[in-house]
């Protein structure tokens, strides 16, 4: 068995799968359920100086996309301090308290949450493109707290620029990414946008944003030396592995836990364990940033190189033939026959093949 324990900015997590700020940790009891579901640590819903007024409806699952128009916590900081954090702390897991948004807000909130927070995570979701308000918020948190200060970046800005500014401001770690948007989805039966916000806008999360999260994590990990927590579209162990290979040491999960319940944390952790074991790695640290190392010195290829084919592994499902626009593959008697002279080396068939009968060499 791999050793799943991870250290992040001095915090020790039993495993590298945490809830992301949002409904999975909307109050103390929900955070306790995350702990019972196998999370390695806890992250609470973002709170600010005043409880948010959140429009309804504010969450929707629409054919592989998840939209929300939640804001920050509807509860006051007082309620969090008097009740919710007390419950969360009883789990014994490290607690990261998510705070928003301006330097003034953080200066007010920091002393209130200090007795409960093992670290704070500052959301930058609503503070615009200029990195300065984020820098000011980081400095306010650093001045008021002795615990690690993390900053969470949104994927619709230049994350490398923001990450460098955060590092220069003294941040201890970066969390990437928040949900993407604004986006919109319309219920075609009624013609009404599914989100109850004024303009019908919402924010996208879940599997649809995973490639965006992977790219952002990759860019941040290349830009700074502080550690990165990855978040965006993780719903199984392999997704978490992907974010780690991009440079994350720990992952957070929100949408999958909303859809499947808090037991996903333990399930994903067990899947990471099994994957590491099968692939001969001793710990998540072994794969952190692997893609950055693999890409070093790689030359861009222009040759129309056909994939390699393993007839034993082929189940003749025909997906490769179906999606080969160059007509370079034909499935005959449950086996794929490749025509290398027609192949453009696009690689799509490799990603369509469910059994790795088709592979590309690098
Ligand atoms: C309903 C909902 C509410 C959210 N609320 C917050 C929040 O309060 N603070 C925050 O930093 N991120 C919030 N997020 C963003 C998530 O923490 C996470 O960054 C994003 O959803 C991507 O991860 P996922 O694909 O695992 O959901 C929220 C996401 C959803 C879906």
Answer whether 235's CB lies under 8 Å from 256's CB. Answer: yes
* CB of 69 sitting under 6 A from ligand 1: no
Quote the ligand 1 centre to 68 CA distance (angstroms). Answer: 8
- Identify the CA nearest to 50 among candidates 96, 109, 92: 109
Alpha-carbon gap, residue 285 to 8, rounded angstroms: 11
Alpha-carbon gap, residue 46 to 26, rounded angstroms: 8
Alpha-carbon gap, residue 166 to 172, rounded angstroms: 9
pTM of the model: 0.97
What is the predicted pLDDT for the residue at 39?
98
pLDDT over 90 (residue 325)? yes
pLDDT over 90 (residue 299)? yes
What is the predicted pLDDT for the residue at 321?
98
88, exposed or middle or buried, with CB in 10 Å at 0-12, 13-18, 19+?
buried
pLDDT over 90 (residue 80)? yes
DSSP 202-238: EEEESGGGHHHHHHHHHHHHHH-SS-EEEESS--SHH
* CB of 253 sitting under 6 A from ligand 1: yes
297: left (phi over 0), alpha (psi -120 to 50) or beta: left
Q: What is the pLDDT of residues 23-79, one digit of tens each?
A: 999 999 999 999 999 999 999 999 999 999 999 999 999 988 999 999 999 999 999
Quote the ligand 1 centre to 230 CA distance (angstroms). Answer: 12
How many other CB atoms sit within 10 Å of the CB of residue 7?
12
* Orientation angle between helical segments 237-246 and 264-278, nearest 10 degrees: 70
* CB of 210 sitting under 6 A from ligand 1: no
Task: Provide the pLDDT confidence category of residue 203 given band limits of 50, 70 and 90.
Answer: very high
Quote the ligand 1 centre to 157 CA distance (angstroms). Answer: 16
- Average pLDDT (235-263) is 98
């Amino acid at each position: 068995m791999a050793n799943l324990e991870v250290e992040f900015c001095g915090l020790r997590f039993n495993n590298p799968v945490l809830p992301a700020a949002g409904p999975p940790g909307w109050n103390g009891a929900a955070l306790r359920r995350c702990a019972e579901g196998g999370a390695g640590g806890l992250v609470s819903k973002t709170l600010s100086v005043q409880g948010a007024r959140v429009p309804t409806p504010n969450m929707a699952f629409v054919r592989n996309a998840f939209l929300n128009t939640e804001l920050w916590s509807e509860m006051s900081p007082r309620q969090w301090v008097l009740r919710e954090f007390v419950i969360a702390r009883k789990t014994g897991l490290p607690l990261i308290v998510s705070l928003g948004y301006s330097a003034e807000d953080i200066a007010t909130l920091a002393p209130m949450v200090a007795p409960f927070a093992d670290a704070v995570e500052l959301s930058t979701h609503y503070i615009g493109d200029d990195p300065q308000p984020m820098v000011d918020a980081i400095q306010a948190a650093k001045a008021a707290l002795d615990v690690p200060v993390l900053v969470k970046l949104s994927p619709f800005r230049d994350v490398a620029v923001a990450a460098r500014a955060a590092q220069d401001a003294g941040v201890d770690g970066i969390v990437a990414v928040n949900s993407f948007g604004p986006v919109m989805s319309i219920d075609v039966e009624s013609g009404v946008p599914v989100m109850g916000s004024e303009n019908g806008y919402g924010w996208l999360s879940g599997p649809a944003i995973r490639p965006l999260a992977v790219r952002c994590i990759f860019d941040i990990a290349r830009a700074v030396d502080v550690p990165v927590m990855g978040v965006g579209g993780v719903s199984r162990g392999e997704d978490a592995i992907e974010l780690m290979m991009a440079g994350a040491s720990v992952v957070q999960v929100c949408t999958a836990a909303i859809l499947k319940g808090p037991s996903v944390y333990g399930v994903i952790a067990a899947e990471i364990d099994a994957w590491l074991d099968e692939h001969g790695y001793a710990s998540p640290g072994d794969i952190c940033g692997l893609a950055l190392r693999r890409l070093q010195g790689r030359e861009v290829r222009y040759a129309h190189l056909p994939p390699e084919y393993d007839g034993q592994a082929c189940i003749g499902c025909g997906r490769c033939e179906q999606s080969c626009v160059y007509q370079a593959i034909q499935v005959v008697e449950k086996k794929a026959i490749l025509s290398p002279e027609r192949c453009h080396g696009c690689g799509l068939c490799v990603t369509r093949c469910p059994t790795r009968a088709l592979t590309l060499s690098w």
